[in-house]
Structure 1
Amino acid sequence: MKLKIVSPMGQFFEGDVEGFVIDTKEGQQTVLEEHIDCLSFFDHSEIIILDNEGSDPIFVALGYLHLVQNEANIMAQFASTDAKQAERIFERLSKRKQGEQGII
Structure 2
Amino acid sequence: MKLTATSPFGEEFSGTIDAVVIDTIEGRRVILPEHGDFVGIFDLTEITVIQSDDARVVWAAFGYVHVFNGDVVVIAQMVDADAEAVQGFHDRITAGRSSSSSRFAVAIDA
TM-score (norm 1): 0.90
**SS of the residue aligned with 1:57?**
strand
Cα shift at 1:11: 1.3
| Structure 1 runs not aligned, ≥5 long | none
| Structure 2 runs not aligned, ≥5 long | 104-110
Superposition misfits of 4+ residues, deviation over 3 angstroms: 97-100
Asked whether the equivalents of residues 50 and 56 of structure 2 are also in contact (C-alpha less than 8 Å), the reply is no
**SS of the residue aligned with 2:54?**
coil
Q: 2:34 & 2:102 partners in 1: Cα distance?
A: 41
**1:1-39, CA deviations, whole angstroms, 9 ceiling, x for partnerless residues?**
110001001111110100100010000100000101011
**1:67-95, CA deviations, whole angstroms, 9 ceiling, x for partnerless residues?**
11001110011111111111111111122
- Does residue 57 of structure 1 match 2:50? no
Larger radius of gyration: 2
AA aligned to 2:10 is G
Q: Count the aligned residue pairs.
A: 103
Residue 90 of structure 2 aligns with which residue?
90
RMSD, matched Cα:
1.4
